[in-house]
Amino acid sequence: MKSNRIGWIDNLKGIAILLVVIRHVMQANITDCSETTIGNAIFAVQMPLFMAIAGFFSITSDKYYQNAEALKAYAKKRAIHYMLPFFSWFVVVYVLIRGFYDRNLVRAITTLINNVDVGLWFLYVVFVLSVISIIASALCRRLNLPSKTGIVPTLGGGRLLLPLLMVGRVFGMRFLGINLLLYYYLFFAAGRFLFGNQDVIKRCFDSPIILYGTGLLTAAIYILIVLNHNIELAPDGIANICLRILAAVAGCTAIAIGVYIFSRERTNKLLEILGQNTLEVYVVHVHYIGLLPKGVHYLYTADGFIVLLVALLITILLSFVTILVIKKIPTLNYIFFGKKPSER
């Protein structure tokens, strides 16, 4: 396993963003989306898997730990990559072009601050968790604490997040996406841990017994939970949150192992293309998921299946056309995808 372009990892990223797109298309077009086993199964893993992959690729070089200037450079790079698209799509497209919030910017930004998930919340969460992770890693380095495996920095990052609980008690857990930051840190940190322990994971993956045994066990746990427990509709009690986390960890592990087994020798080109454009697909696809006429469509019917398939094809096709057009124009590529001309 390497930290640069890895074929099976790109395939895994492709699967992750495809699950996100499918679930969003289902939400927009399928009446009983949240009550179906398929919808439940996808909901359990779509964002945790996406977040773990983001954590894996969050800090790939020791140069960012060197000094305060290096930390600033890292934060600036991440802000351009994530926060610029986060605000650009919300302000320019949602508010000014599509007319959300009556084109009142003050009202729109106030709503966004108090409910981050009305926007492209994943970008915001990854940015904040990336900065927290690099600060925790830098502090470990400064204090001569072990940081290579990621265990100590992960614990340190968790401690840096604790004050948010007090802020949440005053302003509410949705303020500044505190609920999202606290929940998804677990998966983001798991990705960071995996990056720091690639050699150990490689040795485990080289053992067929460990590889297939872990894959089958985690798949069984995941299937058992999603068949008997609705992850999305269950109330946020401690037991339900623990089940949600267990289903996510088991499902993500099973999917990752499955993708590794089937694509370590020969990758799927379509998934690879999706995996290399995850941010672009994420920010664009939501504009096309609801183009079909509204109606009552149930998933497990011929009508529902056809509607889902057509909506999915339309969303993917128009998303890639839009992505290609934006990438051809350097200014738009920078504003909406956070990519400088050299990164096209």
- Residue 21 amino acid letter: V
Split at pLDDT 50, 70, 90, the class of 329 is very high
Spatial separation of the C-alpha atoms in residues 45 and 247, rounded to whole Å: 8
- Residue 120 falls inside a structural domain: yes
Instruction: With a cut of 90, say whether residue 87 has pLDDT above it.
Output: yes
Spatial separation of the C-alpha atoms in residues 269 and 19, rounded to whole Å: 17
Least confident of 65-69, 185-189, 205-209, 273-277: 65-69
| Lookup result for tokens 């709503």 | 111
Domain boundaries, position 114: 7-343
Instruction: With a cut of 70, say whether residue 36 has pLDDT above it.
Output: yes
- Residue 219 amino acid letter: A
Report the pLDDT averaged over residues 78-86. Answer: 94
Q: Three-state DSSP class for 174? A: coil
Split at pLDDT 50, 70, 90, the class of 4 is very low
Split at pLDDT 50, 70, 90, the class of 80 is very high
- Residue 123 falls inside a structural domain: yes
- Residue 1 falls inside a structural domain: no
Instruction: With a cut of 50, say whether residue 223 has pLDDT above it.
Output: yes
Report the pLDDT averaged over residues 132-155. Answer: 70
Q: Which two tokens stand for residue 319?
A: 């998303």
- Residue 320 falls inside a structural domain: yes
Spatial separation of the C-alpha atoms in residues 149 and 200, rounded to whole Å: 10
- Residue 37 falls inside a structural domain: yes
Instruction: Count other C-beta atoms under 10 Å from residue 170's C-beta.
Output: 7
The closest of 129, 27, 39 to 78, measured between CA atoms, is 129
The closest of 126, 117, 113 to 79, measured between CA atoms, is 126
Judge contact between 250 and 221, C-beta under 8 A: yes
Q: Which two tokens stand for residue 242?
A: 């623990």
**How confident is the model at residue 150, as a pLDDT?**
59
Split into its structural domains, the chain has a count of 1
Instruction: With a cut of 80, say whether residue 26 has pLDDT above it.
Output: yes
Instruction: With a cut of 80, say whether residue 141 has pLDDT above it.
Output: no
Q: What pLDDT digit, counting tens, does each position of 64-74 carry? A: 666 678 788 88
**How confident is the model at residue 3, as a pLDDT?**
41
- Residue 263 falls inside a structural domain: yes
Q: What pLDDT digit, counting tens, does each position of 224-262 carry? A: 999 999 998 988 888 999 999 999 999 999 999 999 998
- Residue 285 falls inside a structural domain: yes
Judge contact between 317 and 323, C-beta under 8 A: no
Instruction: With a cut of 60, say whether residue 296 has pLDDT above it.
Output: yes
Judge contact between 22 and 285, C-beta under 8 A: no
- Residue 2 falls inside a structural domain: no
Judge contact between 189 and 157, C-beta under 8 A: yes
**How confident is the model at residue 70, as a pLDDT?**
77
Judge contact between 45 and 306, C-beta under 8 A: no
**How confident is the model at residue 148, as a pLDDT?**
57
